[in-house]
Every structure is written in C-alpha cells, then in structure tokens.
Amino acid sequence: MFLSPARVFAALNEVRPPDQASPVMGRAVVVGGSVAGLLAARVLSDHAERVVIIDRDDPRATGVRPGVPQGTQLHALLPGGLLQLERLFPGFREQAVARGAVEAPPEARRNYLDGRLKVVVPGDADSLSGSRPLLEGLIRQQVLRLPNVTTVTARATGLVCDSTGVTGVRCDVDGMPGIESGDFVVDAMGRSSRLSDWLERAGWAPPTTRRMTVHLNYATAVFRRPAPNPEFPVVLALHSPGGPSDVAGAASFAIEDGRWMAMMAGYGDNRPGRTADDFVRRLRDQFPPELGDVAGNEMLGDVQTYRHADSRRRDFHALRRFPARLVSVGDAVASFNPVYGQGMTAAAMHAACLSMYLRSRPDLGAPARRFLALQKVVVEAAWSTSTSADLALPHVGGPYPRGYRISSWISRQIVTATVTDVTVARRFNQVVSMREHPSSLATPGVLLAALRANLRAR
C-alpha cells in the first residue's frame, strides 16, 4: 500500500523496538562500527540469533577513534535523533547526563540569524549537548552489552555472493584472510564505503552516486567552562549566504568535563579560525556576545580543522537489480553538509527503517525493496533540507532542481519568519530536527503565516 512521504516519516518517528525478540535470521553481519553500524546492530539484535560487527578500530578504545576523522569536531544530536536513541536504549538521556552531557531546553538555547536573536519556541523538544566520543561511546557500550552481539577487529575486503544475493563478508584479520558468513549484511562503512566496488566485482551494478560540491571548511576549539550550569549551553549563529561575512556560522555547546566546544565554518577559500588567535578574535568580533564569552575562557589544546568537499548520496533504491540480504545505512548511503547536524539523526532514522522492515518478517531471499523505499524517504528529506540551503551559496553551481527559483524564495520567507514568529519557527524546528517531513512546510498556511510575520517585522 502506498503511503505519502509525510506518513512514512510519521510512522518512522513512532517506531519502537519489539517487546520481545522475533528472530527472522540466524546470523547478521554489520560492516563498520560507528554510530550507523552500532544502531543497525541494535535493531538486528531483536531479529537475529547473532550479530557480528566488523570494524578496523578496537571496540574497547575510548576517545576519538581513527575511523572517525571528524570526531574532534562539534557534533549535534538533533531532537529527532535523541528520540530514536531513547527508544532503542531506554534511559539514554539520563545516562548521557550522568557522564557529563548537558540538557538544553528551548529557553536555554540561543539561536541567531544574521545577528538577530530568534524567538524561543515554548514546548519545543530538548537538546542534548555532548562530544561525539561521549555520545558514540555510550551507544557502543549499550550495544556491546547485548548478549547476541559480538565484534571482530578486522578489515573488510569484499562480499561473498551466490546467484541471488550476499552470503557473507570477506575480511582480513591480522594479515590472514577469512570470511564472516551471514544471512543478512549491513554496509555501515561511511562516506568512503567500498560497497560500490564490491558490487561491481561480484557482478552487480553499482548505484549512481550524486554529489553536490560545497567546499566547507570548519574548525573546532575546546575551552574551559568555569560555570557548571551555564545559562545558555547551546548557542547557534548563522549568516545568510551572500552576506558580507566570510564566516558561514559559529556555534558553542557545553560538553562534558567542564568544557565548551566551539565551531566556526566558512566556504570555498574562506578558512576562518585556523589559528587560536584568529578563532578567538572572530568569535568575539563577528558573533553575538554569548560566543565571545566562550572565547574569553582558556583554550584547551589546539584548533582542530576539517574539510568537507561535497555532499553525496548513493541511490541504491534506483537499482533495477540488487542483491538480496544486503542493505546500506548512514553516511554510506548519504552524507550531508555537516553544518546542519543531520548525520547521527539520519543514522538513527535509517535504523528505524530497518526495524520497520524486519518487523514485517520479510522474505530475505528477495532484495530488501521495502527497506530501500522507506530509507529513500529519509534520504530525500535530509537531502532536500541541506542541499536547498547549499544551493543558495554563491560558489555552489547546482545542479538546481526543477522549480528551484520559486522554492528558494519560499524557503527564504520561511527562514526569515522563524526569527519572529513562534508558529512558523515551531514547524520549521520540527522539520530541521527530522521529526516531521519537509512537505509539512510546503503548505499555503505556513507560507501565508511567514509572509505576514515578515511584513510585521518590516
């Protein structure tokens, strides 16, 4: 039965783990042990007798893992992602707070657009602020406690296939080749996933890869946080594309161990904040006072930089022929401009797609078309949200979707209205936090409310 994208999105946001395990397979293999792979393993634990995670990093390692080069940067866990994590791991919020993560209700967040303070949305969902190693480490600990989940420290090198689909993963363990057999395989290898090459090598067509070049440069620094309970633990400040500033935006999050983590971003040849002096000066001179106050504290360590060349997506759903017993999740499917903080939340939504698919007790001998259809809705939603903003950047040259000029004008009206109008801001926040589908913004009522708000503001 056909469901609209909005109804699919709503259903995914209501997905909960089954009350008791309902195995539909014997052994599942997950390639990649980052957030997307761990969440897939958590879902699979309800539907497989055994789950094996293959990862090059030692699962016992703490801190920033070598397989996550952006792990030193500021990461956001959107409310939609926190909702999914709380369902997969009851008590996740409390355990994260016990480890030092900071809760940020709506009134404790500051959100600026071009220096204008946005209206507070009463009753909006709380945010949870913490470093990537803290959040990912807690997810890993929860998953590895499951009695039917184990890990193998190895380098995955290819697929094992029969005439209908995948039957396992080839891997290299300490220089010795081996095979991890499985009734179901999940690719969670991230942006650099080698699945397309593996499919070609095994005689299957690879998916089309779409890219949008953005040339984002961002820098993150950590500061000492003297106040244990800061008034505004989350501060975001964005500059509109094409404005006079060479800095796209900045943010500060209160994180564990009495620290602030601050981030600054620029595009193209603009690489703000590469040195400690430049980082502190720009936070003080070009952004609201809350960010300047953070920069007034002692910097701990060096500024960490990272470059994101492009957003990309692999359209597995469009393949006419696809192997059975195989799916891909997280950044291995689609990775977006990290300024919008969608990564971890998108991975959690992919896990919800996998849960919904497996609870339907599918025929594993056939391609996972229902999963791919559900996942497509999530990917399209996140992709449209991020790329519509990216296309407004002066240095981004497309490709532009049909009707882009009118859709971009509507988007500008809505974004501008979020500064002053609570109703529009609430609907906008629901979409950007991935709790509602973007189509909920594309209604005459929302546009009319935005136009009225902007007229009043002028």
Of residues 182 and 273, more confidence is placed in: 182
Crossing angle of helices 35-44 and 343-359, in 10° steps, is 20
CB burial of residue 121 (10 Å; 0-12, 13-18, 19+): buried
d(CA 92, CA 135): 9
**Residue 140 pLDDT exceeds 90:** yes
For strand 48-55 and strand 149-153, is the pairing parallel, antiparallel, or unpaired?
parallel
* CA within 13 Å, CB half, 358: 31
Question: Average of pLDDT values for 426-455?
Answer: 93
Question: Binning pLDDT at 50, 70 and 90, where does residue 251 land?
Answer: very high
Question: Average of pLDDT values for 212-222?
Answer: 91
d(CA 176, CA 171): 8
CB 251 within 8 Å of CB 237:
yes
The residue behind tokens 């792979």 is 37
Question: Binning pLDDT at 50, 70 and 90, where does residue 68 land?
Answer: low
- pLDDT of 67 reads 61
**Residue 270 pLDDT exceeds 80:** yes
Q: Read off the pLDDT of residues 113-139 as tens digits, 9 standing for 90 and up.
A: 999 999 999 989 888 999 999 999 999
- pLDDT of 403 reads 83
- pLDDT of 132 reads 92
**Residue 77 pLDDT exceeds 90:** no
Question: Average of pLDDT values for 15-32?
Answer: 92
d(CA 411, CA 416): 8
**Residue 109 pLDDT exceeds 90:** yes
Question: Binning pLDDT at 50, 70 and 90, where does residue 64 land?
Answer: low
Question: Average of pLDDT values for 31-42?
Answer: 96
Question: Binning pLDDT at 50, 70 and 90, where does residue 366 land?
Answer: very high
* Backbone φ and ψ of 434, nearest 5°: 65, 35
Helix (H) or strand (E) holding 307: strand 299-314
**Residue 395 pLDDT exceeds 90:** no
Of residues 179 and 388, more confidence is placed in: 179
The mean of the pLDDT values for the chain is 92
Residue-by-residue DSSP string for 126-153: PEEE--HHHHHHHHHHHHHTSTTEEEEE
d(CA 348, CA 73): 20
CB 171 within 8 Å of CB 151:
no
Residue 201 tokens read as 């090598």
Residue 412 tokens read as 């500008």
- pLDDT of 340 reads 83
- pLDDT of 361 reads 94
CB 353 within 8 Å of CB 438:
no
Could you tell me the domains of the chain? 5-87+135-209+312-389 (3.50.50.60), 101-130+211-310 (3.30.9), 400-457 (no CATH)
Q: What is the 3-state secondary structure (H, E, C) of 351-415?
A: HHHHHHHHHCCCCCCCCCHHHHHHHHHHHHHHHHHHHHHHCCCCCCCCCCCCCHHHHHHHHHHHH
**Peptide linkage before 362 cis (omega within 30 of 0):** no
Question: Binning pLDDT at 50, 70 and 90, where does residue 69 land?
Answer: low
Residue 49 tokens read as 């007798």
426: nearest Cα among 83, 106, 81: 106
393: nearest Cα among 408, 379, 383: 408
Question: Binning pLDDT at 50, 70 and 90, where does residue 385 land?
Answer: confident
- pLDDT of 137 reads 93
- pLDDT of 165 reads 95
**Residue 319 pLDDT exceeds 60:** yes
**Residue 180 pLDDT exceeds 90:** yes
**Residue 411 pLDDT exceeds 60:** yes
